[in-house]
Structure 1
């Protein structure tokens, strides 16, 4: 059946956006839309949606100023106001939209859900296919700066034989992918879907990489060991040994027999569990409740995300040192304009587990440790979780959003990580 999905316009837009479980900003080229088809995708957000966002931003009722001089109470009023002022009178969503539309985007249905993805092939016919998964509160925007260095390495200081074909999906409930209408779309199911996607694209062998939720999905894929997945790379590895995990869960001090790096990792995780995981507590237990606020207030959404950008970039709590305002607002605006704050948060509810505790991975695995990551995984722990550790490197800059913050460095790490797996 040949059909064409057109952009929602007029007064029907807002209601359709709130009710639809599928992307609504697509212009999909007519063609065979059977369940396994791959359809070109083009983003075109209606102007009234952009204008509505701007008006909501300008009508913000602000919270009172924090009563401390640091970030201990959360995102600081002056910082959020500066970001939001620019959002209301300087930021241009159309530039973000153009960046997306400059890349080959597609939609395909996997296991009953439409999946949006970017697919950029290298000109090198011997390039290594790779699926890269974003995290929360990120999106495909956090990965777009590494596409050039990976697919065209010669233009970025690499060699032709370093090239990758890059596939970047939007996770279910995120961005322009469909929103699950029932339970079950956790990291395991996403991992299986990514294997279907890579094979649907014609790749017989491929590698996988990710940070944050991307690391979780990549680890699950490695545990599933689908035919054709020959190796993984993660920058938020799951390495905490069971005995250490029990001590952390009980709030105990670090044991005396830990090495310097193991103790540093212990202290970082102890801080996260005792003081830094409030956001996760509500997302894991009450994503629907927090979703009402994040879906109704653009400034509430921006403040919630900005707080994590401040925590997790390698910036000393000042994310503008790592990311531009435009980059942060591209990501925040994507969540707002697709109304995916709630559906994205539901992934935490689906995956109510500790994603730092040791995994049991037996396929080739590579790890890069960034200094601004939530914790710096010690090699001694990593070797017990990733039994075929083919690459482990500690770098001097970059944080939790390493692909976004340090794209050139991250691309160099992926080239080195997978060098031994090229054929």
Structure 2
């Protein structure tokens, strides 16, 4: 395990600004298109102009380096992670896993309050030791060499938490891909994972012979989900089938990368059509710039390629996740939370909170609600 410090060279920053200045924009977009055809051109021009002349990457570096960062090789992959020792006599380790198109930066604002609540008017005994890794192929983590799925990552995270960091019991939390990673940690590693908290749910209950058909509420959710997936998941098809072709443009053009990622934050967050009601330009660009400077947009998509190669979306027939599961339902997420009974057929749900607001990027959109719900879940199980 080696200490790690983020520093992007002045030459790389200058190259980015030159590329932004030389952006070749599309000729036009449909009249009154808004965001319906993808990233809105007027907003993207505004965002890229700020990226060129106003955004301060060095401030992002300082924020990241304000925590203890490390890298460690696990199964041939260099894994980057933040580890913040919590306050109190025996802080419970908390593993936070991001998804796509996010990064470990999704959690940057909640690390300190989770680890040191007494600094924010809380009690030290509520502190967690917070571990935030970058998924393989993302950010400052190394490439897995070929697509791996969320169940594989769950095994890597067990080795990180237990073998590297020495935590014999911990809570896992995640959304997006991090949700599925967390589900498999709970399913396969319940001897060390004492609880799994989710702000999204992907895992399907067993579908084998003798299992009950969906009830009316579940069927309505399935029908709505199918319609939503048809509208919003073209990106999944290209990233699951021809990610290399996509990667040439997104790796070469910062404006292209910004459009590809910003559109997802606009559509998936509880933005109600106004992206900066949830995500400031600085927060958006910190995440986008991380992809740019690390050159990881290609390898970050490989997990989608593993979708047709594995069976990581369903609990095996005859099985159920018995590790205690907590659900934080943020209603503005494009990927709607299933009915509780659907989740309960797959897992031992002991905690369920329906939030008043917030969407897909929960820790960024509603950090206070996110923090309190994780704490409430911990009080139930540890």
Q: TM-score, normalised by structure 2?
A: 0.92
Deviations 1:308-345 (A, max 9, x none): 01111101132211011000000000000010000111
Deviations 1:210-239 (A, max 9, x none): 000100111111121253111101111126
Residue number in structure 2 paired with 1:22: none
- Tell whether the 8 Å contact from 1:238 to 1:355 is kept in structure 2 after alignment: no
Residue number in structure 1 paired with 2:210: none
- Tell whether the 8 Å contact from 1:222 to 1:232 is kept in structure 2 after alignment: yes
1:74 to 2:38 alignment: yes
Deviations 1:23-75 (A, max 9, x none): xxxxxxxxxxxxxxx11111111100000001100100001332142322111
* Superposition pairs of residues 323-402 of structure 1, within 5 angstroms: 323-352=279-308, 360-373=320-333, 374-386=335-347, 388-402=348-362
Could you tell me which of 162, 169, 175 is aligned with 1:211? 175
Give the 3-state SS of the residue equivalent to 1:108 in structure 2. Answer: strand
* Superposition pairs of residues 302-317 of structure 1, within 5 angstroms: 302-317=258-273
- Tell whether the 8 Å contact from 2:114 to 2:127 is kept in structure 1 after alignment: yes
- Tell whether the 8 Å contact from 1:187 to 1:351 is kept in structure 2 after alignment: no
- Tell whether the 8 Å contact from 2:81 to 2:131 is kept in structure 1 after alignment: yes
Report the Cα offset of residue 397 of structure 1. Answer: 1.0
User: What is the alpha-carbon distance in structure 2 between the residues aligned to residue 196 and residue 395 of structure 1?
Assistant: 33
- Tell whether the 8 Å contact from 1:93 to 1:330 is kept in structure 2 after alignment: yes
Report the Cα offset of residue 159 of structure 1. Answer: 2.9
Give the 3-state SS of the residue equivalent to 1:188 in structure 2. Answer: helix
Deviations 1:182-217 (A, max 9, x none): x25321221111111111112111110000010011
- Tell whether the 8 Å contact from 2:206 to 2:346 is kept in structure 1 after alignment: no
- Tell whether the 8 Å contact from 2:84 to 2:131 is kept in structure 1 after alignment: yes
User: What is the alpha-carbon distance in structure 2 between the residues aligned to residue 401 and residue 264 of structure 1?
Assistant: 25
Q: TM-score, normalised by structure 1?
A: 0.83
- Tell whether the 8 Å contact from 1:370 to 1:395 is kept in structure 2 after alignment: yes
After alignment, is 406-415 or 158-167 more displaced? 158-167
User: What is the alpha-carbon distance in structure 2 between the residues aligned to residue 270 and residue 282 of structure 1?
Assistant: 18
Unaligned runs of 5+ in 2: 208-213
Deviations 1:346-367 (A, max 9, x none): 1211233798766742211111
After alignment, is 114-123 or 221-230 more displaced? 221-230
1:278 to 2:234 alignment: yes
Residue number in structure 2 paired with 1:249: none
Deviations 1:136-195 (A, max 9, x none): 1111111111112211123334433321100000111100011122x2532122111111
1:52 to 2:15 alignment: yes
Give the 3-state SS of the residue equivalent to 1:178 in structure 2. Answer: coil
Report the Cα offset of residue 389 of structure 1. Answer: 1.1
Give the 3-state SS of the residue equivalent to 2:37 in structure 1. Answer: coil
Q: Flag the 1:86–1:108 CA change in 2: closer, same or farther, 3 A.
A: same
Give the 3-state SS of the residue equivalent to 2:110 in structure 1. Answer: helix
Corresponding residue pairs, total: 371
Residue number in structure 1 paired with 2:110: 146
User: What is the alpha-carbon distance in structure 2 between the residues aligned to residue 71 and residue 401 of structure 1?
Assistant: 19
Unaligned runs of 5+ in 1: 1-37, 244-254
Could you tell me which of 207, 212, 235 is aligned with 2:199? 235
User: What is the alpha-carbon distance in structure 2 between the residues aligned to residue 227 and residue 102 of structure 1?
Assistant: 33
Give the 3-state SS of the residue equivalent to 1:393 in structure 2. Answer: strand
User: What is the alpha-carbon distance in structure 1 between the residues aligned to residue 367 and residue 312 of structure 2?
Assistant: 24
Superposition RMSD in Å: 2.1
